[in-house]
Amino acid sequence: MPIIDGDGNQYEDEFQYELSRTKNLSQVAETGETAQQPPDFKWVDAGNIENKPPVSLRDIAKSAGKDVVKAGKDIYNAITLGPKLMQKVYNGEIDPDSPEAIAAVNQVAMTFGMGGLVTAPMREGAGMFGGQLGALRVPGMRGVFTKAEKDLADGKDPMEVYRNHGVFEGPEGHLRFEIPDEAAKLNTNALTKVASHTEKEEPNSWTMAFTNTGEPLYGSKPGTTVGDVLDHPELFKHYPDLKDIPFVEYPLVEGEKMPLGAHWRKVPGQHDEMLFLAPQSKEAVLSTLLHELQHSVQVREGFASGGYPGQFLEQLPHYKVVQELHQDLAEQLAIEYEKTVSKTLGPYRHYKLSEIASTLAGRSAQVPVKVLNSIKKEHPDFYDSLKLYNEGAQLITQTEADAVRKYRQLFGEFEARATQERKDYTPIDRRVIPPWEGPEYKATYPDEVIPDEAIIPQARQK
């Protein structure tokens, strides 16, 4: 069926349309230049998983004994048609061991020079991580999950098991598989819509990150549920009760910054499970929602949990004491500056040194060294007190930064961020880049070791 793009150009079919978004094929064939990557899928050298160099169509054609167009079309079909058939396997519509299913797998595997590397159905896209309870709800997935569990119990290499079955074991011992997110859609009519703020308007904790976008912002609306906002058949097939989770107002405390999203697990006798989404761009709000829903799945599966930075600060008795002393010192120094120090300065110097007053009012940032040294001779006692203030501010900043680092290293938080990172992965991307080799994992665990304190077990909750 012909396709017409936004500029009025007509293409024979979808493949030719995608092809037009790369460099001219004749140029690629003559020069061997690497094809540009279209936004909808990636050219992947799955035969060289470690380095994953760019692939030229000429190289693919040469190795396959085909012309460039035929090689390119085979790749496109493997990406688009193969996974659609394998989706039926995943849905339980086709037996995973049937000739039809095996042929679909081999089409993808052989096209990319992967040989027998991929031997399990690859679901379209990747995203959220499900577990045993979610797998049991889909007949086609039960067999895959059972085989992976047996292979791991038999001592097979975890990477081989992952590539064969798309299943891996988390640090707390629970098995996981990925639920495709690429078809997930938002119903913006069920969200609160606000105009994008500009820098001239008074910023608050959430508009700071979204100034001058020119696009409307979307946030959760109290009284609605996840099912009202999110169209995600694959996720709800595994976890149908997620649709009933309500959205609520965020209980913002004075001085606290509003998060982009929040998840509260059910506390019997107090409140049910709840979610919140702050106003943000349409694309961001979907990503944030998937992050928070991953926490919901973690609760149901008993996966390692997420958390919040404050839980690490609460473990430090000295933090609150230092914070209170620092606040008292800031208030005393602010009074002394206005009553004494500022009186000895000329108008110009008072203007230049007004940063002292603004810093003390914030009670967090340090007074710049240049400003500090400028009053050392005239006000040595005040200078010494400001140095003490700076030391306190530095200690508080470092302690809070360490708490944020530990929070981000919680495996439940990493997993929720990995859900966002892998939202638009293709099936090939997902098999080539397992969760523990993606950019987010390497950024979170630079030593490639998950700290014991990052694995907080939780009881499985229905």
Domain-wise residue ranges, the chain: 1-122, 313-403
| Distances in whole angstroms, Cα of residue 435 to Cα of each of 50, 235, 323, 411, 438 | 15, 19, 38, 12, 5
Mean pLDDT score, 51-55: 35
pLDDT at 91: 56
Per residue in 151-182, pLDDT (tens digit) is: 999 999 999 999 888 899 999 999 999 988 87
Three-state SS at 244: helix
Residue 255: what pLDDT? Answer: 65
Reported as a pLDDT band with limits 50, 70 and 90, residue 373 is: confident
Under 8 Å between Cβ of 168 and 174: no
The whole-model pTM stands at 0.68
In the chain, % of residues over pLDDT 70: 67
Residue 57 has pLDDT above 70, yes or no: no
256-302 pLDDT per residue, tens: 778 889 999 988 888 899 999 999 888 899 999 999 999 999 999 99
In this prediction, residue 10 carries a pLDDT of 61
The three-class DSSP label of residue 447 is coil
What local confidence, expressed as pLDDT, does residue 460 receive? 74
pLDDT band at 197 (very low <50, low <70, confident <90, very high): low
Residue 114 in this model has a pLDDT that exceeds 60: no
Sign of the CA dihedral 448, 152, 166, 408?
negative
**Section 221-248 average pLDDT:** 95
* 29/25 Cα distance (integer angstroms): 6
* Most confident stretch, 30-34, 107-111, 120-124, 300-304: 300-304
